[in-house]
């Protein structure tokens, strides 16, 4: 993609985020994480040069390749995809700024064990399956608060910072909105949580209106 196109795409997203967050409150700050899965290393480097600092990948392999290739840039890397157990050690070695898709108590225990061994900690979000879709990862809405607090109590090397959800995969805007509202309600009840990650290219303005303070944007930035 050309630098001009990336620049105008990014400007549009920033503008839309700005409008949406100001409707919530002047004090409501929203972080944009640019999701690179449809893009190239070159486009990520260009976006960085345009001022974007936080980037997300949904595969450990891709995160590894790209953070390695771009190691001279102080990029804030986020892991946003399902983590296979056999990739735990690789993710720990990459020490992402935030692992957003911690999606079960079982994974939390396995991750914590390896973190203890490595004498490291990791910032994580608990992923909630708030749309209640079989195809999506994440803990059930009914169990989310209990699992969050169990992880806080039993997994000292996991630093929980809040929650993440993927909006309902539906044309029905009310369904999408409901999944965001449910996630925000859970977020508001959590001890010490500061990040509510909701919203992608198709629904980030709605997510912000529902209280999201971190949006994960791929195609709106990287598609021409």
Ligand X SMILES: *Cc1c(COP(=O)(O)O)cnc(C)c1O
Residues binding ligand X (CB under 6 A): 35, 37, 58, 80-81, 166, 200-202, 216-220
Cβ-closest residue to ligand X?
Answer: 218
State the nearest-atom distance from the C-beta of 199 to ligand X, in Å.
8
Q: Which is nearer to ligand X, 30 or 80 (CB)?
A: 80
Q: Which is nearer to ligand X, 181 or 200 (CB)?
A: 200
- Whether 215 and 200 have beta carbons less than 8 Å apart is answered as yes
Q: Which is nearer to ligand X, 149 or 202 (CB)?
A: 202
Quote the CA–CA distance of 67 and 188 in Å, as a whole number.
33
Secondary structure class of 177 (helix, strand, coil):
helix
Q: Which is nearer to ligand X, 182 or 221 (CB)?
A: 221
Quote the CA–CA distance of 8 and 122 in Å, as a whole number.
34
Q: Which helix (H) or strand (E) holds 14?
A: helix 3-24
Q: Which is nearer to ligand X, 97 or 191 (CB)?
A: 97
Residues sharing a CB contact under 8 Å with residue 127, sequence separation 6 or more, in sequence order: 100, 101, 102, 103, 137, 138, 139, 163, 164, 165, 166
CA 128 from chain centre, in angstroms, equals 12
State the nearest-atom distance from the C-beta of 189 to ligand X, in Å.
23
Quote the CA–CA distance of 49 and 101 in Å, as a whole number.
27
Quote the CA–CA distance of 208 and 72 in Å, as a whole number.
32
Calculated CA dihedral for residues 82, 97, 30, 204, nearest 10 degrees: -20
State the nearest-atom distance from the C-beta of 82 to ligand X, in Å.
9
State the nearest-atom distance from the C-beta of 153 to ligand X, in Å.
27
Q: Which is nearer to ligand X, 56 or 158 (CB)?
A: 56
Secondary structure class of 9 (helix, strand, coil):
helix
Q: Which is nearer to ligand X, 45 or 200 (CB)?
A: 200
Q: Look at the block and give the residue holding tokens 């070695």.
A: 93
State the nearest-atom distance from the C-beta of 26 to ligand X, in Å.
26
State the nearest-atom distance from the C-beta of 201 to ligand X, in Å.
3
State the nearest-atom distance from the C-beta of 72 to ligand X, in Å.
25
């Amino acid at each position: 993609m050309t630098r001009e196109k990336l620049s105008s795409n990014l400007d549009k997203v920033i503008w839309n985020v700005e409008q949406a967050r100001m409707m919530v409150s002047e004090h409501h700050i929203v972080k944009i994480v640019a999701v690179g899965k449809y893009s190239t290393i070159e486009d990520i480097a260009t976006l960085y040069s345009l001022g974007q600092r936080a980037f997300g990948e949904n595969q450990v392999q891709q995160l590894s390749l790209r953070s390695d290739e771009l190691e001279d840039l102080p990029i804030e890397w986020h892991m946003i995809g399902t983590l296979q157990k056999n990739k735990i050690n690789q993710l720990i070695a990459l020490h992402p700024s935030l692992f957003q898709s911690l999606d079960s108590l079982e994974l939390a225990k396995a991750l914590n064990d390896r973190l203890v061994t490595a004498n490291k900690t990791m910032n994580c979000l608990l992923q909630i399956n708030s749309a209640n879709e079989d195809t999506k990862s994440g803990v059930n809405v009914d169990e989310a608060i209990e699992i969050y607090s169990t992880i806080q109590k039993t997994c000292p090397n996991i630093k929980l910072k809040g929650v993440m959800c993927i909006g309902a995969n539906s044309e029905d805007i009310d369904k999408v909105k409901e999944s965001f509202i449910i996630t925000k309600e859970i977020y508001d009840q959590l001890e010490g949580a500061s990040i509510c990650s909701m919203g992608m290219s198709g629904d980030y303005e709605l997510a912000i209106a529902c209280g999201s303070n971190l949006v994960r944007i791929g195609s709106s930035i990287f598609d021409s």
